[in-house]
Amino acid sequence: MKISVFCLGYVGCVSLGCLSKMGHNVIGVDINEHKNDLINRGLPTIIDKGIDILIKKGRENSLIRATQNATEAILNSEISFICVGTPNDKNGHLNLNQIKTVASKIAIALPQKVGFHTIVIRSTVLPGTAEEISKIIADASHKIPGKDFCVLVNPEFLREGNAVDDFFNPSLTVIGGSDKKGIDLIMEIYKNIPGAKRVVDLRVSETIKLLNNSFHALKIAFANEIGTISKALDINTHQLIDIFLQDNKLNISQAYLQPGFAYGGSCLPKDLRALNLIAHDAYLETPLLNSIEKSNNHQIDRAISLIEEFKIQNIGFWGISFKDGTDDLRNSPIIQVIERLIGKGYKVYLFDEQVNDSQLIGVNKEYIEKVLPHFHSLLLKDFDKLLNNVELLVVNKKGDKTVYKKIFKNIELRLFDLINIPELSSHKYYHGFNW
């Protein structure tokens, strides 16, 4: 296939070398003449394991060349990968100027081109960039998206130092967009690349790299803070982390990674606070660990503001324990929401299949009577009564078909789902908390 690669920086140079190894004809386009010259002499523009051999061989086999001439590259390729830099500007936003400049150059070339052209953004961008780039090209070239060209997103997941191997063995290939011609072309290029290939919404593909890198940064910061604490307390850091990593059910797993409502209960808040205080008492700074409770409280504040936006006085809460499947009300974040809404004058009704007023005992009973003194008068005995009394239902519990049917019968009921129940999402007035 004839491919153009816009820019010969890290990602561009690796793409050039790897695509040529797959047998494609690749033209690199960079504004930096020195980089073009290096490629045309069979030399890489970066240092990374194996890239020198790929560029040398690609050049010897006449599969690689570099130019400053964007129009010539567009006319001699059917697909363009854009890999230009997207550095932070002085306020920290991603600066998309390089990618917009490339879009303008593509727009100048396209009117001279017969046939469809696929443009693939490989740079890390912001949600909405592909649509913006498509518009820039369409406005300036008078070519029609979907008919003459398309803009797709295929984020690059390589790591410097291991880039060639990562290109050929990615954890996942993500393609954002819906243009079938373009997607088929990318799939053809990657047909021998292992790993799952997922076609997703444009905005998902534009955001995934930001998410990945933020999570990687979060993991590093977490591990370093644990190291800080364990070193100061003479705990074997390596053994501690090793044991932590061996739990693939709850720690290194999908557990706790679904957007939903705030955490609570008798363990997470207590033990997190204890760890933070251990650090504090040892005069250690652990800003990440310290920020977790703040972040969790913010979710509670958000839930309250969003509930208030409904401007409804009679609110029903279905599910009041700290998580589904228990009657434990201690540190239940929804109880905080309820308490604060009552304080603001809202009329509140509660229902939870698992919370039986007369069976609450011990600290659980003491806790709820202290936090919500009118708890007994607010808790209803059946779901139908709850539905009859309210105009807004806050969903904090999974139910079954019978319960969902009852909810759907209440056509005018406003729903605010805190825990993501897909079965309810087609209700006319369904609102998801974090989705």
Residue 396 contacts residue 433 (beta carbons within 8 Å): no
Number of residues that bind ligand NAD (CB under 6 A): 24
Tell whether residue 69 is a contact of ligand NAD (CB under 6 A). no
Of the pair 85, 227, the CB lying nearest ligand NAD is at 85
Q: Are 164 and 188 in contact (CB under 8 A)?
A: no
Burial class (CB in 10 A: 0-12, 13-18, 19+), 266: middle
Closer to ligand NAD at the Cβ: 123 or 364? 123
Sole binder of ligand NAD in the list 11, 51, 96, 138 (CB under 6 A) = 11
CB neighbour burial string for 298-320, b if at least 16 within 10 angstroms, e if fewer: ebbeebbeebeeeeeeebbbbbb
Could you say whether residue 205 binds ligand NAD (CB under 6 A)? no
User: How far is it, in rounded angstroms, from Cα 26 to Cα 167?
Assistant: 16
**Contact range with ligand NAD by CB under 6 A, out of 29-37, 108-116, 287-295, 305-313:** 29-37
Is 30 an interacting residue with respect to ligand NAD (CB under 6 A)?
Answer: yes
The residue whose two tokens read 């009329």 is 347
> Which residue, 33 or 188, is less far from ligand NAD as judged by CB?
33
153, 121 contact by CB (below 8 A): yes
The smaller minimum CB distance to ligand NAD, of residues 101 and 354, is found at 101
Catalytic sites, residue numbers = 267
Indicate whether 160 belongs to the interface with ligand NAD (CB under 6 A).
yes
Q: How many angstroms separate the CA atoms of 389 and 64, rounded?
A: 72
Burial of 152 (0-12, 13-18, 19+ CB in 10 A): buried
* Closer residue to ligand NAD, CB minimum distance, 98 or 331: 98
Taking CB under 6 A as the criterion, which residues in 106-125 touch ligand NAD?
123-124
- Alpha helices (H) in 127-201, listed in sequence order: 129-141, 163-168, 180-189
Q: Which of 3, 38, 54, 102 contacts ligand NAD by CB under 6 A?
A: 102
Residue 265 touches ligand NAD, criterion: CB under 6 A:
no
227 CB burial (10 A radius; 0-12, 13-18, 19+): middle
Among 158, 175, 185, 303, binds ligand NAD (CB under 6 A): 158
Please pick, from the candidates 27, 29, 289, 337, the single residue that binds ligand NAD as defined by CB under 6 A: 29
- Cα–Cα distances in Å, from 292 out to 95, 209, 286, 329? 30, 23, 11, 21
Is 9 a residue that touches ligand NAD (CB under 6 A)? Answer: yes
Please report how close the Cβ of residue 139 comes to ligand NAD at its closest, in angstroms. Answer: 18
Site for ligand NAD in 122-141 (CB under 6 A): 123-124
Max CA pair span of the chain: 83
Among 36, 67, 86, 154, indicate the residue that binds ligand NAD (CB under 6 A).
Answer: 86
Smaller CB distance to ligand NAD: residue 124 or 321?
Answer: 124
- Single residue of 3, 4, 10, 432 touching ligand NAD by CB under 6 A: 10
Q: Which of 3, 5, 83, 226 binds ligand NAD (CB under 6 A)?
A: 83
**Residue 24 corresponds to which tokens in the numbers above?**
């494609």
What angle (nearest 5°) sits at the alpha carbon of residue 240, between those of residues 234 and 244? Answer: 155
Should residue 8 be labelled a site residue for ligand NAD when binding is judged by CB under 6 A? yes
Residue 354: what are its φ and ψ, rounded to 5°? Answer: -90, -10
The CB-nearest residue to ligand NAD is 9
Q: In whole angstroms, how far apart are CA 125 and each of 132, 156, 178, 190, 212?
A: 11, 11, 18, 22, 13
Interface positions with ligand NAD (CB under 6 A):
6-12, 29-32, 35, 83-86, 98, 101-102, 123-124, 156, 158, 160
